[in-house]
Homo-oligomer: A and B are copies of this chain.
Amino acid sequence: MTTEVDRLIAGLSQRKIRDLARAITLVENGGPEGLELLARLAAGSSAGGSASRCEVIGITGSPGVGKSTMTDALIAAYRAAGKSVAVLAVDPSSPFSGGALLGDRVRMQSHSLDPEVFIRSMASRGHLGGLAAAAGQVLRVLDAAGFDVVLVETVGVGQSEVEVAAAADTTIVLLAPGMGDGIQAAKAGILEIGDVFVVNKADREGAQSTARDLRQMIAMATDGSTDGSQSWLPPVLTTIASTGVGIDEVVASIGDHRSWAIENGELERRRRARAREEVVATVVGMLQTRLNEQPLSPELEAVAAEVATGEVDVHGAASRLWKMIGR
């Protein structure tokens, strides 16, 4: 008997857009069919001996720096090089739609008739076990569909969002002049995760000084912390993504970083770290599920009320719950 999962796996291998979209929805929902699909994909890749070959590129930066425009420009560049491209755009949930905010995805519709381009939005909230686990699972589906390149675009500078972009094979940190100087970049916590820095909107005042500040901060950060020959010095490029200026250089730098990462074992190290985080996040999700079910959920509500009035301290309350988990 052919199940829906059988059908989806067949559809994925032919990269049928509808099956791909459906498979991602199943995986995002986290139900039994989604779990079966993931297990089957893992079994299949193990049997075929094919580890992931798709190139995962993270793009992050503050709101307003032009991430969507940059993603659009990179899609065009990779398509021109004959590569298939998937985009996973992680958006904070909109309070209105309850789902991902698709506002400026509209621009990417220039690629909507290209069967070698697939664009998916994902809300950053509401994933049991966290955003990283959810994104990791969607990446596995995109990988199974055989895309050459997956662009993971995360809005914001937050901890969870930055972690998702940082889990990529190569992470691009986008800035814009006028979004603040180097200190603001450091505040955003993104200096340490960038493999390639891009100052976008380079036609605006202050672009060159922003790039210069960044280079200085990167040099400071790199000095003494690396062993020289093996280290990667993140380049700082300038682009005008809306007109395509500088995009070729970004693509070249991504390629350089990838070659370096493969040669130095960094790619393998990152993929293992990513897998570790996904496993931990999934276990945490299992815990959260337990806390929201009988018999733990009423106990959680009871201790929360006691903690709120100050009768019990948080750690004491947590210990009481923890003891119930093993049973």
Measuring CB to CB, which residues of chain A are less than 8 angstroms from any residue of chain B?
35, 38-39, 41-43, 45-46, 50-52, 62-64, 91-96, 101, 103-104, 124-125, 131, 133, 136-137, 140, 155-162, 178-180, 183-184, 186-189, 191-192, 220-221, 268, 271-276, 278-280, 282-288, 291, 300-301, 303-305, 307-319, 321-322, 325-327
Contact = CB atoms under 8 A, between A and B. Distances in A.
Q: What are the nearest 6 A-B pairs in CB distance?
A: A158-B158, A92-B189, A42-B313, A95-B192, A282-B318, A276-B304
A137 B156 CA distance: 26
Given A96-B186, A186-B96, A315-B39, A178 B178 contact: yes
Contacts of A62: 62-64, 157
Contacts of A318: 279, 282-283, 285-286
A147 to B, nearest CB: 16
Contacts of A279: 300, 303-304, 307, 314, 317-318, 321
Given A63-B157, A326-B325, A92 B307 contact: no
B327 A179 contact: no
A34 to B, nearest CB: 9
Contacts of A325: 283, 325-326
Contacts of A288: 280, 284
A42 B316 contact: yes
Contacts of A287: 283-284, 287
A274 B220 CA distance: 40
Nearest to A30: B315
Contacts of A326: 325-327
Contact of A307 (B50, B94, B278): B278
Contacts of A276: 300-301, 304, 307
A283 B314 CA distance: 9
Given A51-B309, A156-B187, 4 more contacts: A51-B308, A52-B310, A64-B180, A282-B318
B314 A278 contact: yes
Nearest to A41: B313
A236 to B, nearest CB: 15
A123 to B, nearest CB: 9
B96 A282 contact: no
Nearest to A96: B221
Given A159-B160, A322-B283, A326-B325, A272 B313 contact: no
A319 B323 CA distance: 19
From A52, A274, A308, residue with most partner B Cβ within 10 Å: A308
Nearest to A137: B314
A186 B103 contact: yes
Contacts of A189: 92-93, 124-125, 156
